[in-house]
A and B are shown apart, each in its own frame.
Chain A
Amino acid sequence: MEIKSNVKNFSFYRRKTSNIIMLTFSLLAALVTLIPLIFIFYYTISKGITYLNLNFFTKLPTPVGESGGGMVNAIVGTLILIAIGGGIGIPVGIFTGTYLSEFGHNKFGSIVRFLTDVLSGIPSIVVGVVAYTLVVVPMKHFSALAGGVALAILMIPTITRTTEEMIKLVPQSYREAGLALGIPKWKTTLLIVLKTAWKGIATGILLGLSRAAGETAPLLFTALDNRFWSTNVFQPIASLTVYIYQYASAPYKDWNDQAWTAALVLIILISLLSLIFRIITRSKYKTTN
């Protein structure tokens, strides 16, 4: 009897301790995960703030050794690249997503759906190589257009999937109502279904755009870099992310500091995008309530 209860006690305590140990580990894991986040934000803000002034937004980069200067060309360049990427990626993504949810309930549709998923997992640098062979090689020089194509390829999966999910949420009765009024199917899709799902789709677009804004790898050998003011889409163009990479790897302290500022500006830019994203989703809930 005695032995038996001892065994029971032992296993009870063992179970209790392992319970506590594992649960504590889980809590610690959650805390450890937050540490890098806090660190990164802390450093980006505290180091980036030193160069964050009007010059940064209005002046061109200065040569090494000369202090001051800004990155206005890179900020504009990033915006241009996102615009080109969006100009190609948004329509393709929306149309693919619409096709998948309205007409894609067949074998072809599921193949496209699967390929979109696979596309979203392809490393961005590989996308850059593809954009290089597709655009840079035929045109024989680097250009903002090539960078935009690379960003578009990266955006398409995100936009396609959100469009499909959002359109699926549109009640079937809307479509039936449209068809009952004798409106052709394409018009129903375009004017009724897409219009109803529009806000949801917009969030997908913003998500895609903000991802693209943070991409560096595919721009390195498509959009390249440009130290001067340029808005010509057929010429190389500067971007914030490529500047961060170059300035961080450079051996000049001045440049390193500016890299932090560029990082801060980039984060602010992306947060602005996601702020808009949040406002749009909120107003969506208001209207449905």
Chain B
Amino acid sequence: MGWEMYTNSVLSIRKFGFGFLTSTTWDPFSQVFGALPMIYGTLISSLLSLIIAIPLGLGVAVFLSELAPAWLEKPLSFLTELLAGIPSVIYGLWGIFVLVPWLRDTVEPFLQNKFPNSPFFQGAPYGFGMLAAAIILSIMVLPIISSISRDVLKSVPNSQREAAYALGATKWEVTKIVLSYAKSGLLGAIILGLGRAIGETMAVTMVIGNRPQISASLLDPGYTMASVLANEFTEAASDLYLSSLIELALVLFIITIIINIFARLLVWSTERKWKLSPM
């Protein structure tokens, strides 16, 4: 697959070289293609979504594995998995008609009033933009983080908990010990979530506003690699345009592969650690 994309993007790789990754101009009319705004948009929207999703996801995982009574755990796990099963285009639909108007009319004016000088909340409150994309992404990443971390937490041996309780620890202190025991597995769960966020296309395309620019403001529209592909692939009229888009797909492919391999290795290494020291 990688090879297939490489051969199809040779044209733009030859023309732009490494400049493709650092140039900020994306102008189909004058045939100049630089991917930096999209790479920026992809990374920022994903990282923002993780900032929202990590505490919530870990909170859910802790609740499911440490606190919830057995009768509550099953249906709740089922519901979070249901959240993962909703097609992304339906998230996008919901984003356009429910989330975006709410952000535009309520949240964004409020943020601007509260922090009039903050560089993060400048510009007209369109609703469409980074903030909307980050929120939608965090909803989509949440079930991944919470279900994998729940499994990781559940595989922490009970003797760890019992030892902590025996020392008179409170429930939260026990949980802290469990969390630190499962650290690398949890990190793996988060990185898998990041991989999902980076590759997510439809929902983001529908709410991010689709404008290739780099702006510190969260209210401004942005663009991600995946949404450029979704929007412009069928419109690519020239060979150079098309091959630039395919090169963009190649960049996205390489980033997600690196992230995934890293996450798998982390999850594997924790599992192996427990297998070597059975308790």
Contacts and interface: CB of A to CB of B under 8 A. Distances in A.
A141 B201 CA distance: 23
Given A241-B89, A248-B93, A15 B173 contact: yes
B4 A134 contact: yes
Interface residues of B, number: 69
A132 interface: yes
Given A15-B170, A216-B88, A245-B202, A27 B264 contact: no
B246 interface: yes
A49 B82 CA distance: 21
A194 interface: no
Interface in B159-182: 170-173, 175
Interface in B23-52: none
Given A129-B249, A130-B5, A214-B89, A16 B60 contact: no
A29 interface: yes
A220 B253 CA distance: 18
Contacts of A114: 264
Contacts of A16: 170
Interface string A186-216: 0000000000000000000000001001111
B253 A126 contact: yes
Contact of A29 (B59, B97, B245): B59
A266 B93 CA distance: 13
Interface of B is mostly: helix
A128 B60 CA distance: 33
B80 interface: yes
A123 B226 contact: yes
B279 interface: no
A248 B97 contact: yes
Nearest to A121: B260
Interface stretch (B13-21, B62-70, B118-126, B269-277): B62-70
A15 B171 CA distance: 10
A103 to B, nearest CB: 22
Contacts of A274: 85
Nearest to B59: A29
A231 interface: no
Interface in A224-275: 224, 241, 244-245, 248-249, 256, 259-260, 263, 266-267, 270, 274
B88 A33 contact: no
Contacts of A40: 86, 90-91, 94
Interface in B193-233: 195-196, 198-202, 206, 226, 229-230, 233
A125 B249 contact: yes
Nearest to B245: A129
B94 A123 contact: no
Interface stretch (A17-25, A85-93, A170-178): A17-25
13 contacts: A121-B192, A123-B198, A123-B252, A125-B226, A125-B229, A130-B1, A214-B86, A220-B230, A221-B233, A221-B234, A245-B92, A245-B202, A274-B85
Given A217-B201, A267-B86, 13 more contacts: A25-B59, A28-B59, A40-B86, A40-B90, A117-B260, A118-B260, A121-B256, A122-B257, A129-B245, A133-B5, A216-B201, A244-B92, A249-B96
